[in-house]
Amino acid sequence: MNAKRPRVQVRGLTKIFGDEAGAALPLLKAGQSRAEVQKATGAVIGLQDVSFDVDEGEILVVMGLSGSGKSTCLRCINRLIEPTSGSVLVDDTDVTALNERELMEFRRTRFGMVFQQFALFPHRTILRNVEYGLEVQGVAPDLRRDRALTAIETVGLKGWDQHYPSQLSGGMQQRAGLARALALDPDVLLMDEAFSALDPLIRRDMQQELVALQRRLKKTIVFVSHDLDEAIALGGRIVLMKDGRVVQQGTAADFLANPADDYVRRFVEHIDVLGVVTAGDAMRMPAAVKPWQSTAAEALAILIQSGEPVVTVVCHEGRFQGTVDAETLKQAGDTELRLLLSDREACVPGTATLNDAVAKLASGRGEIAVIGPDRELKGVIANADLVAALARRRSETTH
Ligand SMILES: Nc1ncnc2c1ncn2[C@@H]1O[C@H](COP(=O)(O)OP(=O)(O)OP(=O)(O)O)[C@@H](O)[C@H]1O
Ligand SMILES: [Mg+2]
């Protein structure tokens, strides 16, 4: 991970609903369970000691079943709900320490929020809806129009600015809601079940677009969802909540490889392993690697000893160049490997999923390279490794 400070730091957030919050907190701190505290005081524990970081430019998904505390958590970040204890830091600012006036200003300039209900004004055009936040900020009409139109274009609604919300489909209205948040150019976007009301196909499109948009705009996004598939589609880290607490945080692949408890194990039981485990997770060190100026005879000796299906060939700087199989080597004597290379494309980045790896393996010669951003060789995956990885996951989730 990078050594950079996270953009958002959530520390020990606790939220107790009800008039008896004051009486409930000491009981909770003394180790009583949520149910015990509720029974004794009538107070509902919405959140209990929730901590996580969100890095700059990351989409962090807060996931959990209904009532697990996701919305409470999101709303405590910008204090739409006042936390009972704990703190939220955005860069250097302790949001929980701001007075009311400072908080309003901070919310307006640093946070954007998108809800499941699009909450557009029905009698305003899309343009005027998207302009709304800028209008409240007192931005001059010309400038706010420009910024609103840019945001409308960003979310793919160009040409719809003079329409009214009722003339747009649900998906388009949600785009308008997103444009309204983006027009303010916030550092941190808080999205609560933003796509949950959309049809499955449109929802999937929106997920992909959000990922693309986020790469381009480098926003920091906290995205609440009860849907594991959605969390996986958004591709980042997941904070999994249950009964107001964090059960585990990490990537979906982490949850699969090292589930914190049975709850997490059950949660990821039906996960599509090929879609979440990355090539980097599944790769191993290759036993037959040769620089490209080596001879075929040298490579053949190593290949036979290794049991690999092909020799992986790298340049003198360690970048993947291609592979050569035993048949080719046997007939090539002292020829240099660089003249025998094939399969320059038999490789995937470490961040690719096993789905991508499978496609490459199917069209290749039984082994592919896993490479870094400059094509440097990181490892390999052979057919057998893939089968072993799948078998491992299967036995983990069925026991
Ligand atoms: N204003 C409130 N007063 C009392 N209890 C509340 C209040 N808001 C939320 N709760 C309780 O806090 C817990 C967490 O609620 P929250 O809305 O954060 O859940 P959620 O994970 O967002 O659920 P969903 O997926 O249904 O939106 C629930 O038990 C809920 O009943
Ligand atoms: Mg909710």
Q: Is residue 20 part of a domain?
A: no
pLDDT in tens, 166-225: 999 888 998 999 999 889 989 999 999 998 888 888 888 889 889 988 888 889 999 999
The pLDDT of residue 202 is: 85
The mean pLDDT of 328-350, rounded to a whole number, is 91
Say yes or no: 273 and 284 in one domain: no
Domain boundary among 244, 277, 310: 277
The pLDDT of residue 3 is: 58
The pLDDT of residue 80 is: 93
Say yes or no: 271 and 284 in one domain: no
Q: Is residue 246 part of a domain?
A: yes
The mean pLDDT of 323-346, rounded to a whole number, is 91
The mean pLDDT of 262-276, rounded to a whole number, is 84
Specify the ligand 1 atom closest to the Cα of 74.
18
DSSP, residue by residue, 101-159:
HHHHHHHHHHEEEE-SS----TTS-HHHHHHHHHHHTT--HHHHHHHHHHHHHHTT-TT
Say yes or no: 214 and 310 in one domain: no
Residue 399 has pLDDT above 50, yes or no: no
Instruction: Give the closest residue (by CA) to ligand 1 atom 16.
Output: 69
Q: How many whole angstroms separate alpha carbon 359 and alpha carbon 176?
A: 37
Q: Is residue 145 part of a domain?
A: yes
Instruction: Give the domain extent around 104.
Output: 55-87+97-277
pLDDT in tens, 246-257: 999 998 888 887
Find the 282 Cα to ligand 2 centroid distance in Å: 35
Q: Is residue 43 part of a domain?
A: no
Domain boundary among 258, 277, 296: 277
Instruction: Give the closest residue (by CA) to ligand 1 atom 18.
Output: 69
Q: Is residue 347 part of a domain?
A: yes
Task: Read off the CATH number of the domain in which 380 is found.
Answer: 3.10.580.10
Distance separating the N- and C-terminal Cα atoms of the chain: 32
Q: List the shell of residues around ion ligand 2, using CB closer than 5 Å.
A: 71
Say yes or no: 311 and 366 in one domain: yes
Exposure letters 256-280 (e unless 16+ CB within 10 A, then b):
beebeeeebeebbeebebbebbbbb
Specify the ligand 1 atom closest to the Cα of 69.
18
Domain boundary among 233, 254, 277: 277
Number of domains into which the chain is organized = 2
Residue 396 has pLDDT above 70, yes or no: no
Q: Is residue 117 part of a domain?
A: yes
Task: Read off the CATH number of the domain in which 163 is found.
Answer: 3.40.50.300
The pLDDT of residue 116 is: 78
Interior CA angle at 63 toward 207 and 133, to 5°?
A: 60
Q: How many whole angstroms separate alpha carbon 386 and alpha carbon 353?
A: 12
Is the alpha carbon torsion for 253, 258, 259, 262 positive or negative?
positive
Instruction: Give the closest residue (by CA) to ligand 1 atom 7.
Output: 17
Find the 24 Cα to ligand 1 centroid distance in Å: 17
**Order of strands, sheet of 44-54, starting from the edge strand that comes earlier in the sequence:** 44-54, 8-17, 85-90, 93-94
Q: Is residue 122 part of a domain?
A: yes
Q: How many whole angstroms separate alpha carbon 173 and alpha carbon 220?
A: 22
The mean pLDDT of 271-296, rounded to a whole number, is 89
Specify the ligand 1 atom closest to the Cα of 75.
18
The pLDDT of residue 76 is: 96
Say yes or no: 228 and 364 in one domain: no
Say yes or no: 269 and 319 in one domain: no
The pLDDT of residue 229 is: 87
Contact at 8 Å (CB) between 180 and 149? no
The mean pLDDT of 288-312, rounded to a whole number, is 92
The pLDDT of residue 20 is: 81
pLDDT in tens, 107-139: 888 998 888 776 899 999 999 999 998 998 889
Instruction: Give the closest residue (by CA) to ligand 1 atom 30.
Output: 67
The mean pLDDT of 20-27, rounded to a whole number, is 86
Say yes or no: 253 and 297 in one domain: no
Residue 1 has pLDDT above 50, yes or no: no
Q: How many whole angstroms separate alpha carbon 213 and alpha carbon 100?
A: 32
Percent above pLDDT 90 for the chain: 58
Measured from the alpha carbon of residue 64, the closest ligand is 1
Say yes or no: 132 and 265 in one domain: yes
Least confident interval from 5-14, 288-297, 369-378, 388-397: 388-397
Say yes or no: 119 and 227 in one domain: yes
The mean pLDDT of 269-293, rounded to a whole number, is 87
Residue 397 has pLDDT above 80, yes or no: no
Which protein residues touch ligand 1 with a CB less than 6 Å away?
17, 44, 46, 64, 66-72, 226
Provide the pLDDT confidence category of residue 393 given band limits of 50, 70 and 90.
low
Q: How many whole angstroms separate alpha carbon 176 and alpha carbon 153?
A: 10
Instruction: Give the closest residue (by CA) to ligand 1 atom 26.
Output: 66
Residue scoring higher pLDDT (172 or 272): 172
Alpha helices in 268-316 (DSSP H): 273-276, 279-282, 296-306
Say yes or no: 266 and 330 in one domain: no
Find the 35 Cα to ligand 1 centroid distance in Å: 15
Instruction: Give the closest residue (by CA) to ligand 1 atom 28.
Output: 67
The pLDDT of residue 363 is: 80
pLDDT in tens, 142-156: 999 999 999 999 888
Say yes or no: 126 and 257 in one domain: yes
Q: Is residue 253 part of a domain?
A: yes
Residue 2 has pLDDT above 70, yes or no: no
Say yes or no: 199 and 230 in one domain: yes
Measured from the alpha carbon of residue 67, the closest ligand is 1
